[in-house]
């Protein structure tokens, strides 16, 4: 299924381990920092996730976007198993904070609920 002209498609990169979970339909919530460029994400939009430096990509539909003041609040609100079904909540929090430092987390966290297309 390809996106119709009225559906916006956002392009985002993922690390291979997270891409594999999204592509398999096992990761249903993506975590991002609330950067200004992501403020226009909307229900019904599509995201094409790619692994940087490869031709691998997959397409998802946004089901919901929720804002949280921290990654910890996000994991509690969304349920860690939706973010990464292969890691504990504590491991996920450490992994997310290794990617995004405190100055990034201070911008706010976005939980993007999605389904594989």
Residue 1 predicted with pLDDT over 90:
no
Average pLDDT, the chain: 95
Domains contained in the chain, number: 1
In a domain, 26, yes or no: yes
Residue 4 predicted with pLDDT over 70:
no
Convert the pLDDT of each residue in 53-79 to its tens digit: 999 999 999 999 999 999 999 999 999
Domain with residue 68: its CATH number is: 2.30.130.30
In a domain, 97, yes or no: yes
In a domain, 3, yes or no: no
In a domain, 99, yes or no: yes
- 71-78 and 89-99 are packed helices; what angle lies between their axes, rounded to 10 degrees? 140
pTM: 0.93
Burial of 10 (0-12, 13-18, 19+ CB in 10 A): middle
pLDDT at residue number 90? 98
């Amino acid at each position: 299924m390809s996106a119709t002209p009225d559906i916006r498609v956002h392009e985002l990169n993922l690390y291979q381990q997270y891409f594999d979970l999204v592509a398999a339909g096992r990761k249903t919530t993506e975590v991002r920092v609330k950067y200004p460029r992501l403020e226009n994400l909307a229900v019904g939009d599509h995201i094409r996730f790619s692994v940087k430096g490869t031709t691998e990509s997959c397409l998802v539909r946004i089901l919901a976007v929720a804002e949280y003041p921290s990654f910890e609040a996000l994991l509690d609100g969304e349920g860690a198993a939706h973010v990464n079904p292969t890691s504990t909540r504590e491991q996920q929090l450490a992994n997310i904070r290794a990617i995004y430092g405190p100055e990034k987390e201070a911008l706010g966290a976005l939980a993007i609920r999605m389904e594989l297309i």
